[in-house]
């Protein structure tokens, strides 16, 4: 208990804990909210001069109508300049090119002869990376040209939009309780949880490893092991550091519940509703974090006990870190077919279960026997890992200046 208390308080009182618990989530929230808020406020006005050589007197009128009926926070104004078809357009461009160079809010669009027959229009602007303006202009022009072609073919006067309007579907998730609308909330919840488990498990696992290395380098461990068994010391450090991670999660969950109850005001006063997270998902999230933490922190503690410096640790920790990275590389396969044999098998592997099974739970709610089986397999793996790590920790904790080989590790296990 003394070791647990010391490890917990030593980390909770640091600036790193304060930054990771409060400032980092706040920055993540602002990184998403600020760009969305700025986008909702619009980017002022844009002026586009249309150099019309198309020969169709109604094309510009239809294009202007399409632009005005389109929803956008950025006002887009079109100015028509009729250019005779026999006029060299290159002699007309310089005047408008100069305006575009001097003012990034101004640009010009060239409708060449034969535009209705497939000749590609030209858009000229100082800032062609303004995709909102460019795409809006391109879509409206495409609809206007299509409408004029149909009218020219004798199909009568009509609004092409009512025939080519995009059809969107309402997605509903089928659950035992009924059908609930889901436009991607399940994936978002699963991905955020997967990311948090990955980041915190990696962060606290490495923190565990570095703590062991620092104690070895400062020779404090020599004093500690004279009063407590190495195995008790390792378990105390595991629980103490894990309690720090749970404290972070409690703060994050309480903050999320507060946001869900109050809502987040954004987009010029509209309410952004955070999807409600089922209690069962939150419980699984905490359980998988605890299991994942103990599994990987044990492995990192074992690595820390075998090395004497950070440089050696960088190489020795790579296999352990890759066990955390691999699920991040294959989680898309789980999302696409969460009940497939590949996703099911991978989510059962103890080293991958904290992230991949958590993603499956958020996306489709797999059979509970699979969830419980994965937890049981993780518990058995943790027991085995603690047993092995405890023996290596007991022998290697007082070793200095030599990085053990695989043969040495095998000998340590037999000796221990």
Q: Where are the domains of the chain?
A: 45-159, 184-415
Cα–Cα distance, 320 to 342 (Å, whole number): 22
3 state SS of 72: coil
Quick one: which of 221, 184, 216, 222 has its CA closest to 335?
184
Whether the Cβ atoms of residue 250 and residue 285 lie closer than 8 Å to each other: no
Q: And the tokens for 93?
A: 């461009």
Cα separations in angstroms, 257 against 264, 300, 361: 12, 33, 20
Whether the Cβ atoms of residue 86 and residue 25 lie closer than 8 Å to each other: no
Within 8 A by CB and 6+ apart from 311, the residues are none
Residue 141 is inside which H or E element, if any?
helix 131-152
Q: pLDDT tens track of the chain, all 416 residues?
A: 888 888 788 878 888 777 777 776 677 667 656 665 665 555 568 888 999 998 888 889 888 888 887 666 567 888 899 988 888 888 888 888 888 888 888 889 999 888 888 888 988 888 777 777 888 888 888 888 888 888 877 766 555 556 666 666 666 666 666 666 666 677 777 788 888 888 888 888 888 888 778 777 777 766 776 777 777 777 888 888 888 877 877 787 777 666 655 554 444 444 444 556 777 888 888 899 889 988 998 888 888 877 777 777 777 788 888 998 998 888 888 888 888 888 899 999 999 999 999 888 888 878 889 999 999 999 999 988 888 887 777 777 766 666 666 676 677 666 65
For the chain, helix, strand, coil in percent to 5 are: 65, 10, 25
Task: Assign a CATH topology to domain 45-159.
Answer: D-Maltodextrin-Binding Protein; domain 2 (3.40.190)
Cα separations in angstroms, 382 against 207, 297, 368: 19, 10, 21
Q: And the tokens for 181?
A: 């609308």
Quick one: which of 63, 43, 42 has its CA closest to 105?
43
pLDDT of residue 364: 81
Quick one: residue 47, left, alpha or beta (phi over 0 = left, psi -120 to 50 = alpha)?
beta
Cα separations in angstroms, 39 against 42, 70, 266, 267, 365: 5, 16, 11, 8, 35
């Amino acid at each position: 208990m003394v070791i647990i208390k010391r490890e917990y308080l030593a980390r909770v009182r640091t600036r790193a804990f304060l930054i990771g618990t409060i400032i980092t989530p706040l920055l993540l929230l602002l990184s998403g909210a600020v760009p969305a808020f700025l986008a909702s406020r619009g980017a002022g006005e844009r002026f586009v001069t249309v150099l019309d050589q198309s020969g169709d007197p109604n094309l510009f009128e239809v294009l202007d109508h399409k632009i005005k009926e389109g929803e956008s926070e950025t006002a887009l104004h079109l100015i028509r300049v009729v250019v005779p078809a026999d006029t060299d357009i290159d002699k007309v461009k310089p005047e408008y090119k100069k305006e575009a160079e001097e003012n990034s809010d101004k640009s010009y669009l060239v409708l060449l002869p034969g535009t209705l027959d497939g000749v590609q229009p030209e858009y000229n602007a100082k800032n062609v990376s303004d995709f909102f303006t460019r795409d809006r202009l391109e879509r409206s022009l495409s609809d206007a040209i299509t409408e004029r072609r149909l009218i020219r073919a004798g199909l009568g006067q009509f609004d092409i939009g009512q025939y080519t309007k995009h059809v969107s579907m309402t997605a509903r998730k089928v659950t035992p309780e009924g059908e609930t609308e889901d436009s991607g909330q399940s994936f978002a919840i699963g991905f955020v949880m997967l990311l948090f488990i990955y980041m915190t498990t990696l962060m606290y696992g490495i923190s565990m490893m570095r703590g062991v290395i620092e104690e070895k380098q400062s020779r404090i461990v020599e004093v500690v092991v004279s009063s407590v068994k190495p195995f008790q010391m390792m378990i105390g450090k595991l629980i103490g550091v894990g309690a720090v991670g749970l404290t972070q999660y409690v703060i994050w969950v309480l903050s999320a519940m507060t946001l869900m109850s109050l809502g987040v005001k954004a987009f010029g006063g509209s309410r952004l509703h955070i999807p409600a997270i089922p209690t069962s998902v939150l419980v699984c999230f905490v359980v998988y974090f605890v299991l994942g933490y103990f599994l990987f922190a044990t492995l990192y503690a074992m690595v820390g006990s075998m090395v004497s410096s950070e440089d050696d640790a960088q190489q020795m920790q790579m296999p352990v870190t890759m066990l955390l990275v691999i699920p991040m590389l294959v989680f898309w396969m789980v999302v696409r077919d969460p009940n497939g044999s590949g996703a099911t098998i991978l989510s059962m592997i103890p080293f991958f279960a904290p992230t991949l099974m958590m993603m499956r739970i958020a996306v489709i709610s797999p059979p509970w026997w699979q969830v419980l089986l994965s937890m049981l397999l993780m518990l058995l793996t943790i027991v085995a890992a603690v047993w092995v790590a405890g023996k290596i920790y007991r022998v290697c904790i007082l070793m200095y200046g030599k990085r053990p080989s695989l043969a040495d590790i095998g000998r340590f296990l037999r000796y221990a």
